[in-house]
Structure 1
Amino acid sequence: MISKLHLKNENNLAGFILFLGTFCILITIGFEYTIGWIGVERSANAIPQFIYMVWDDLKHIWAWQIFGFSLQCIAYILLLKNTTLPFKSLLWATLMVLSLFIIIGFGICLGSYYPALEVYEQQPQLFEAIRGAVRFLYGRGGLLSFLILALIFFIELFASKGVIPKKWGIPTLLVIVTGILLSLVPSLPGKVIGATIFFIPLSIGFAYWMADTTLKTTTS
């Protein structure tokens, strides 16, 4: 009985941490839109100069994003620790590794972008090489993470013992799908609307946080 209650409490804690980390990331996306990093079309050649001009803002935004993704990583570790199903263990373990890729990518941003931009006119290839590595880590890590999180969302929504209640899980799913479809419309700010995909980990985290039965958490 004690171990079951402990398992439930840690899953609730993991859900809260996942929710908090994702909420933090969503707020930073709002700040990225405010300064024009997303939601504004610009040529590839204009990106280095823009980053250099707004670096004081971007470095703080990206630092908070590291914090948010770090919280997500901690949540995945807790969920992996308390998972009894091998398939779920694989999913949480993979998410943990992918979140580390993203954190490393942002770490490279904070540590290398500004020095590389200061010598951009003399060595443009330095910044491009660093940015290429960052985009690989963040792009691959982010895409695979959301695919896995989408799978977990569907499992928790439609499985008989899933932790996501259908009464709000299905409307959330419709919002996410609508946001993804709207992001494909050329005239709309795709990155901003596409931020709705963060509702996936936000919903998973909230569901685990609010789960009120030991049975549901022990079977996950």
Structure 2
Amino acid sequence: MKYITKAEFRYGGILLSLGALITIICILLEVNAGWASLVVEIKRTDYEAGKFLYDNWDVMSSIWNWSLFGNVFFAISSSLLFKDSRTAGSFPLSLLWVVNFIGSLVLILSFAISIGSYHTTLSVIDSQPYLFESIRGTPLYLFNIGALFQLSVLIIYFQQGFSKQGIVPKVYAIVMILLIVALFLLVFFGVVSFTVFAVACFLVPLLLGIFYYKEGLSK
């Protein structure tokens, strides 16, 4: 850990937790707006999604703006914590922070395209629905890739939780893995929606950021 400073631990941890907190709030705001649900999966055609966004654009664009900023915090925190020289065996955790950084940048681009291009196409959704359909594919694809890359933070969290020298208390690792597995099964059996599982996953970087912040205070 000789390449990372106390301040980088603290600021990296704070930004990681802030990014996670903003993202969780944005997900819940999407639920409140009707874009998502905690109970059932909402499936919409491109046209139905476009009509919803057209009717609720002020609310949804504001939420997505905050989501974009949340990922900016994720990107900055990853660039700071990348300097941490901890390893999982011989595998450097810094590579996982690089993956997380790339995922955050991809998500920033996804939200930026959505915010910047959707409104124009939504205004003609009834007369030219193909415009929204053609544009929507790109940010959706980028969103899925970025979200997948950001799952790398789960590996870091659980490695640090089950490692003897890890910064995450083992009890927190056990609780989180049980929670995530339980919610995954509930989603699989249709008891809750994937949105609930997503919120639980973002509790991981929220907690990890706190533990990195504490590490910066104790070093």
TM surpasses 0.5: yes
Gaps of 5+ in 2: none
* Cα 1:127–1:29 shift into 2, 3 Å: same
Residue in 2 aligned with 1:10? 8
Q: How does 1:11-160 map to 2 (within 5 A)?
A: 11-39=9-37, 41-44=42-45, 45-83=47-85, 87-146=92-151, 148-160=152-164
SS at match of 2:82: helix
Q: In 2, distance between residues paired with 1:213 and 1:128? A: 52
Q: Distance in 2 between matches of 1:83 and 1:124?
A: 50
Q: 1:201 to 1:91 in 2, by over 3 A?
A: same
How does the TM-score come out when normalised to structure 1? Answer: 0.87
Q: Which residue of 1 aligns with 2:182?
A: 178
Q: CA RMSD of the aligned region, Å?
A: 2.1
The answer to which of 65-74 and 191-200 deviates more is 191-200
* Conserved 8 A contact 2:2-2:85: no
**Which amino acid is 2:150 matched to?**
S
Summarize the Cα distance change of 1:131–1:5 in structure 2 as closer, same or farther, 3 Å threshold: closer
TM-score by length of 2: 0.88
Distance in structure 2 (CA, Å) of the matches to 1:194 and 1:52 = 25
Q: Look up the match of 1:218.
A: none
Higher helix share: 1
Q: 1:161 aligns with which of 148, 165, 185?
A: 165
Please tell me the residue identity of whatever aligns with 2:134.
A
In structure 2, the residue matched to 1:195 is 199
Label 1:193 to 1:159 Cα distance change in 2 as closer, same or farther (>3 A). Answer: closer
Identity of aligned residues (%): 33
Deviates more, 1:89-98 or 1:109-118: 89-98
Question: 1:75–1:167: structure 2 CA closer, same or farther, 3 Å change rule?
Answer: same
CA distance in 1, matches of 2:70, 2:175: 25
Structure 1 position 83, deviation (Å):
3.5
Gapped regions of structure 1 (runs ≥ 5)? 215-220
> How many residues are treated as equivalent by the alignment?
211
**DSSP-derived class of the 2:74 partner:** helix
Aligned letter for 2:24? Answer: L
Give how far 1:78 is off: 0.4
Q: Identify the range of structure 1 (4-13 vs 201-210) with the bigger mean alpha-carbon deviation.
A: 4-13
Q: Distance in 2 between matches of 1:154 and 1:189?
A: 24
